[in-house]
Structure 1
Amino acid sequence: MKERTIFQKFIHTLVDILVLLSLAWFIVYSFFSLYRVSGHSMEPALSTGDTVLIDELSYRFIKPKRMDIVLFQRADKSYNMKRIVGLPGETVIIQNGRIYINGELLETTKISPIALPGLAKNPVELGKDEYFLIGDNTDSSEDSRFQNIGNVHFAQIRGRVWFRLLPLRKMKLIV
């Protein structure tokens, strides 16, 4: 009788674990996507080879926020990851290596000093659904400062980088 009880507990526990894993798999593959980072433009936040989860659901209900890291589709249909610094309706300008939004200095330690302001050496006015994106490692980033990227429309944003899965030693929420 005791052996049967232990066996039943084992089976119940195994079934619970399988149900939880199935539910987790369904949630991840229904509302998130995996993306492997390539390039150095988002260092130190994200590095080449990191595998991240992209939250494709939340932007259906809420608008992207300043400093979110997003995955977006370029005009050539490839994907890039950058940080949002300018929001719809704002004016962005880069002077003396610093970003100004509507004339106010953007205080952040996440983005390296900017040697090349590109298009943002003059004020860049964002439309009602446009965002200005920049890579954290500005010396190695092709972003909204350059003509081939420019302002990014909301429809181009696939989702928010939410969680780093790999490498395991660097697993964490991305904020």
Structure 2
Amino acid sequence: MRNKNHWDWLHVILIAFALAFVIRMYLFAPVLVDGESMVPTLQDEDRLIVNKFQYHVKTPERFDVIVFHATEGKDYIKRVIGLPGDHIVYQNDQLYINDMPVQEPFLDALKVLTDEPLTEDFIVQEVPAHHLFVLGDNRRISKDSRIIGPINEKAVVGEAQLVFWPFSSFHFTP
């Protein structure tokens, strides 16, 4: 009887580890923000939850905050600005996508702090098929698609959806 009880506990523990593994590998993962390229949306050392499953059933949308494999062993967190086929122009601190002006309300908190433009002018003739053009919200210091180029959709890990630590900063990403 006592031996059977040990096997029951062992089964419960093994099932718990298996569930944790599946959830971590395929559904959700914790990520640590390293740097200030997404300020004010995300702060350095924020801890957030990334939804890894979502992009298996749909494609990233404009302004999603995503985590992607930037280099071997290094993931970046940036905001999707351009989708495949988009023509992007940044002129006089105004974003134009396919010749239409686009508002970026997530930058408003930074714009009130300075009279200087947040984003230098640039033009992207066309975002390639199966690629995304991403920018950090803190445009002056962000290493993003302006430097590394458009990212392949296959490099996307998932969408950053929830800041859970520090608890005082608990929020869903806009």
State the TM-score, normalized to the length of structure 2: 0.78
Q: How far did residue 95 of structure 1 move?
A: 1.1
Amino acid aligned to 2:88:
V
Residue by residue over 1:44-75, the C-alpha shift from the partner in whole angstroms, topping out at 9 and shown as x without a partner, is 11001100011000000011011100001114
SS of residue paired to 1:82: strand
Per the alignment, residue 155 of structure 1 pairs with: 154
Rg bigger for which structure?
1
* Contact 1:98–1:114, Cα closer than 8 Å, also in 2: no
Q: Which runs of 5+ in 2 are unaligned?
A: 1-15, 111-116
State the Cα distance separating 1:29 from its structure 2 match. Answer: 2.6
Return the alpha-carbon distance in structure 2 between the equivalents of residues 138 and 68 of structure 1. Answer: 16
Partners of 2:21 and 2:170 in 1: CA distance: 21
How many Å apart are 1:106 and its aligned residue? Answer: 1.4
Aligned residues: 149
Identity of aligned residues (%): 26
| Structure 2 residue 133 is matched with structure 1 residue 138 | no
Matches of 2:129 and 2:119 in 1, distance apart? 28
Cα-to-partner distance string for 1:98-123 (whole Å, 9 max, x where unaligned): 22111111111213543424xxx233
Aligned residues: CA RMSD: 2.1
Query: Do the aligned partners of residues 174 and 25 (structure 1) sit closer, same or farther apart at CA in structure 2, a change above 3 Å counting?
Result: farther
1:142, 1:104 → 2: CA distance? 25
1:145-172 Cα distance to aligned partner (Å, 9 max, x none) = 11xx110110111110011110011112
Q: Any residues of structure 2 matched to 1:44-83 within 5 Å, and which?
A: 44-83=40-79
Match of 2:170? 171
Moved over 4 A (4+): 24-28
Name the counterpart of 1:92.
88
What CA distance in whole angstroms lies between the structure 2 residues aligned with 1:170 and 1:132? 28
Give the Cα separation in 2 of the matches to 1:123 and 1:93: 6
TM-score, with structure 1 as normaliser:
0.77
